[in-house]
Amino acid sequence: MKLLSDTNKFLIVILLASLSSCGQTFNSNSNDANLTAFTACSEAGTAAGDRYCAAETIIRTRCTNCHSGYHDQWSSYTNDAAWKASGRVVAGSVAGSTVITRLKNQGGNMPADAPQISDTEYQTLVEWVQQMP
């Protein structure tokens, strides 16, 4: 007796795969992030703006895959002021900025279920927060 058709098995596999994707549109463990269409950073042109744009690139490619849904609106934070208003970043304070303290085994292990950010990426985020106006 055949319980499930091949079509139903295929649909179940697709459903399970989509439920385990954390809402992301690409595989964060590959180079697929470079294939998605991000708008250009609008803050470039000043030292502070360039630091923000470098941080935004890291956050978009490594964090917003999971932190962009209903509870985490990270993709809507498009400048320093928005990040400060969110409470996730405290200008000049790495220890007060959860965006930083949740990285590299300092209160968390982000990104979850993916390789840790590189030392270079981490340092870029630290400098962004330390030098934020």
pLDDT at 60: 84
Model pLDDT for residues 51-102, shown as the tens digit of each residue: 999 999 888 888 877 776 656 677 778 889 999 999 989 999 999 998 888 7
Structure tokens at 59: 């956050």
- φ and ψ at residue 90, rounded to 5 degrees: -115, 115
119: pLDDT strictly greater than 60: yes
Q: Determine contact, residues 88/97, Cβ cutoff 8 Å.
A: yes
Which of the pair, 5 or 117, is modelled with greater confidence?
A: 117
